[in-house]
């Protein structure tokens, strides 16, 4: 069995294409070494003895987790040092641990933390070594947003999956668990012991600018099953699951990074739509829940975001839903939590509301000193601080971080991105590509076609069109690639139309086309040219609302290489499409009518 207790069956693993070697890699002995429940007396004894020897400053530090720049714990890179000084007031991670007695760090690619798996393992070991040299001798939570699909911090060679909405399109709860299990195993091997995943938001708003494909879709029941499966799989792999964003960020047209969303669901709607995945996560034993910077008037009419709301975090989450794990905030640098109160008040109010860990305050010194001052003034009691510290310490014990804080860097290559893991990821992804329309009979692409791949791409590095081009070439088709970037200019649109006229078929990729008139103009110009056009949304499936007349339309929910290889298989007929929409796509010309209903998807071409 790959996972202890609440496990995916061996039959499901074999159906996913996991070889015997991978089954061994995922099986119970390795996972249980980090997650087997300790004797209650041992856990309680360690937590209590640790609390007794900690100073107030050390206790408060345990409640913070922050980003840090640099590839190593003691980096001296001038750019990293300069940036760390700007918001941490120190040069590097080692100095931050010593100064603030931190409870954890969050790794980011942009911060230079995740250049390569072996480097991440070295960074993790360096940080843990410094933590254990402090007087409290408490190892750190080292976390990452490895949601898969659209949100990934550790790229290849780590195994990539297509993300939550794609998994939901595949409708396999077993696949969701296997994807989380492989992701968790690879993270644990590089010293990451907390994943800021899975996303439990139920995406019922096609205009949602921040969740979309990060969600398992619009079905609360399907999302609940998949969230629970991923919680169990992550934690069986020795990685704390962090279920987000409570109480549900799925029905908003505002991004909480840049504004303060208001969710106008009634309490009845919240119980029916938003809360089921969180209830399922709690029942599955989730270690951590993350708060959302959203206002929910039905739960708290004060106008405070959930992160700062006592009725939501304590009244609903703690008392009504019975969650006694760690409550962690979303980033305190986001606009949604900073609009109403100053940065020195936000961490104090979050703790008063019921949060345990405070993530990424804009200026660490201000936040840390504000919490210390609140305790010394009596606004926060030391007992309240200790309640949260005890939860954090229990998590570190139960997830095996106290017993095994270090990882073997020599073993990383035997775990991360192995051929078995990559093969499983491809097989799972092959079950997710969704064909919604082929009225023109454009598929499969003919072996004699010369194919043009054009459309959306990352402007910094045109990797998606190139990946699809390679995959089609590998399938035996003559293929040319003409990337138009993220926001195509008139000149690039004209170039793509001219190229399409000399090709037997054109595949055009889109990504959130509703926000980009250039992408809409590109698709419409290609359709008007008379070329044989296949349109593929490589992120949110709702792009077709911008050009509902398109005759051939697919969606992959992801734009990474594994998704492009599956897409190539479907386009050429080597793989039959199997994905079914996990959301409803409204008809923009007929309000209240679906263009494609939940569950739509052609399964033969």
Q: Give DSSP secondary structure letters for 370-408.
A: HHHHHHHHTSS-HHHHHHHHHHHHHHHHHTTTTT-----
- The residue annotated as part of the active site, out of 274, 330, 420, 449, is 330
199 - beta bridge partners? 244
Per-residue model confidence (pLDDT) at position 40: 82
Q: What is the DSSP string of 347-361?
A: HHHHHHHT--BEE--
553 - beta bridge partners? 437, 535
- Predicted confidence (pLDDT) per residue in 248-286, tens digit: 999 998 889 989 999 999 999 999 999 999 999 999 999
CA distance 505 to 451: 5
Question: Is-catalytic flag, 330?
Answer: yes
Percent of the chain as helix, strand, coil, to the nearest 5 = 45, 10, 45
Query: Which single residue is written with the structure tokens 């996913």?
Result: 16
Closest CA to 66 of 38, 101, 37, 42: 101
Higher-confidence residue: 7 or 294?
A: 294
Per-residue model confidence (pLDDT) at position 34: 38
**Phi, psi values for residue 229, rounded to 5°:** -60, -40
- Predicted confidence (pLDDT) per residue in 478-515, tens digit: 999 999 999 999 999 999 999 999 999 999 999 999 99
Instruction: Quickly state the pLDDT bin for 5 (edges 50, 70, 90).
Output: very low
CA distance 49 to 397: 13
505 - beta bridge partners? 451
Per-residue model confidence (pLDDT) at position 461: 73
- Predicted confidence (pLDDT) per residue in 443-484, tens digit: 999 999 999 999 999 877 779 999 999 999 999 999 999 999
- Consecutive H or E run containing 531: none
- Predicted confidence (pLDDT) per residue in 182-203, tens digit: 999 999 999 999 999 999 999 9
Question: Is-catalytic flag, 145?
Answer: no
The answer to whether residues 519 and 510 touch, using CB atoms and an 8 Å cutoff, is: yes
Closest CA to 548 of 433, 432, 436: 436
CA distance 507 to 535: 6
CA distance 99 to 351: 21
Tokens standing for residue 404:
């095994």
Q: How far is CA 561 from the centre of its chain?
A: 17
144 - beta bridge partners? 107, 195
The least confident of 32-41, 397-406, 463-472, 480-489 is 32-41
All domains of the chain in start order, with CATH: 10-405 (3.20.20.300), 433-596 (3.40.50.1700)
Strand-strand pairing, 533-537 and 478-483: unpaired
Residue 16 has pLDDT above 90, yes or no: no
Closest CA to 90 of 114, 52, 115, 61: 61
Decide: residue 383, CB within 10 A, 0-12 exposed, 13-18 middle, 19+ buried: exposed
CA distance 14 to 258: 44
- The residue annotated as part of the active site, out of 77, 257, 310, 343, is 257
Decide: residue 96, CB within 10 A, 0-12 exposed, 13-18 middle, 19+ buried: buried
Mean pLDDT rounded to a whole number for the chain? 93
Determine the 3-state secondary structure of 322 from DSSP. Answer: coil
User: How many CA atoms, within 13 angstroms, populate the side-chain half-sphere of residue 285?
Assistant: 15
Instruction: Quickly state the pLDDT bin for 31 (edges 50, 70, 90).
Output: very low
CA distance 551 to 533: 8
Produce one character per residue of 112-122: b if its CB has 16 or more CB atoms within 10 Å, e if not.
bbbebbebbbb
CA distance 108 to 105: 10
**Distance (Å) of CA 506 to CA 155, 433, 512, 555, 572:** 29, 18, 19, 16, 13
Per-residue model confidence (pLDDT) at position 39: 53
Q: Specify whether the backbone of 452 is left (phi greater than 0), alpha (psi in -120 to 50) or beta.
A: beta
Q: Which strands make up the sheet holding 194-195, listed edge to edge?
A: 326-328, 288-291, 240-246, 194-195, 141-144, 104-107, 64-67, 358-359
Per-residue model confidence (pLDDT) at position 18: 43
Residue 336 has pLDDT above 50, yes or no: yes
- Helix 346-353 / helix 382-398 crossing angle, nearest 10 deg: 80
Residue 21 has pLDDT above 60, yes or no: no
Per-residue model confidence (pLDDT) at position 258: 87
**Distance (Å) of CA 245 to CA 151, 307, 344:** 15, 10, 23
Per-residue model confidence (pLDDT) at position 460: 73
Whole-model pTM? 0.93
The answer to whether residues 108 and 70 touch, using CB atoms and an 8 Å cutoff, is: no
The answer to whether residues 593 and 496 touch, using CB atoms and an 8 Å cutoff, is: no
Closest CA to 149 of 198, 219, 218: 198
The answer to whether residues 580 and 536 touch, using CB atoms and an 8 Å cutoff, is: no
CA distance 29 to 552: 48
């Amino acid at each position: 069995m790959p996972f202890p207790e609440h496990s995916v069956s061996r039959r499901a693993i074999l159906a996913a294409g996991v070889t015997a070697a991978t089954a061994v890699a995922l099986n119970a002995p390795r996972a249980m070494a980090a997650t087997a429940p300790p004797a209650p007396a041992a856990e309680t004894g360690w937590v209590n003895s640790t609390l007794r020897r900690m100073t107030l400053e050390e206790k408060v530090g345990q409640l913070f987790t922050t980003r840090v720049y640099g590839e190593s714990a003691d980096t001296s890179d001038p750019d990293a040092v300069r940036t760390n000084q700007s918001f941490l007031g120190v040069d590097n991670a080692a100095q931050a641990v010593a100064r603030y007695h931190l409870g954890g760090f969050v790794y980011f690619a942009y911060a230079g933390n995740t250049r390569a798996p072996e480097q991440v393992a070295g960074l993790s070991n360096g940080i843990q070594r410094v933590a254990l040299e402090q007087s409290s001798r408490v190892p750190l939570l080292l976390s990452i947003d490895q949601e898969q699909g659209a949100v990934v911090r550790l790229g290849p060679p780590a195994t990539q999956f297509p993300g939550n909405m794609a998994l939901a399109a595949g409708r396999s709860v077993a696949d969701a668990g296997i994807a989380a299990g492989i992701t968790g195993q690879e993270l644990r091997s590089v010293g990451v012991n907390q994943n800021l995943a899975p996303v439990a938001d139920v995406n019922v708003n096609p205009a949602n600018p921040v969740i979309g494909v990060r969600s398992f879709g619009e079905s609360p029941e399907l999302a609940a099953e998949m969230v629970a499966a991923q919680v169990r799989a992550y934690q069986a792999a020795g990685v704390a699951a962090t279920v987000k964003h409570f109480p549900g960020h799925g029905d908003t047209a505002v991004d909480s990074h840049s504004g303060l969303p208001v969710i106008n669901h009634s309490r009845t709607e919240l119980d029916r739509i938003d809360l089921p995945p969180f209830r399922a996560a709690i029942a599955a034993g989730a270690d951590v829940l993350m708060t959302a910077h959203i206002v929910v008037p039905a739960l708290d009419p004060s106008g405070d975001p959930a992160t700062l709301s006592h009725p939501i975090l304590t009244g609903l989450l703690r008392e009504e839903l019975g969650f006694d794990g760690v409550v962690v905030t979303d980033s305190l640098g986001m606009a949604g939590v900073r609009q109403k109160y100053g940065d020195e008040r936000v961490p104090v109010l979050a703790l008063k509301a019921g949060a345990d860990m405070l993530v990424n305050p804009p200026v660490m010194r201000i936040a840390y000193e504000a919490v210390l001052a609140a305790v010394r003034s009596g606004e926060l009691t030391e007992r309240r601080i200790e309640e949260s510290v005890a939860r954090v310490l229990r998590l570190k014990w139960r997830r095996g971080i106290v017993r095994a804080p270090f990882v073997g860097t020599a073993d990383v290559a035997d775990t991360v991105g192995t051929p078995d893991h990559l093969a499983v990821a491809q097989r799972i992804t092959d079950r997710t590509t969704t064909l919604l329309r082929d009225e023109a009979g454009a598929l499969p692409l003919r072996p004699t076609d010369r194919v043009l791949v054009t459309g959306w791409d990352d402007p910094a590095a045109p990797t998606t069109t190139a990946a699809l081009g390679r995959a089609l070439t590998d399938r035996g088709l003559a293929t040319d690639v003409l990337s138009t970037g993220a926001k195509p200019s008139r000149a690039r649109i004209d170039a793509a139309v001219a190229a399409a006229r000399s090709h037997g078929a054109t595949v055009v990729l889109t990504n959130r086309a509703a926000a980009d008139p250039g992408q809409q103009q590109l698709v419409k110009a290609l359709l008007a040219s008379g070329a044989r056009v296949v349109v593929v949304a490589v992120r949110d499936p709702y792009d077709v609302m911008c050009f509902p007349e398109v005759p051939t339309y697919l969606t992959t929910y992801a734009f990474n290489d594994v998704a492009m290889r599956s897409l190539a298989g479907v386009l050429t007929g080597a793989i039959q499409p199997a994905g079914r929409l996990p959301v409803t796509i409204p008809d923009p010309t007929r309000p209240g009518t679906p263009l494609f209903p939940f569950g739509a998807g052609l399964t033969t071409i």
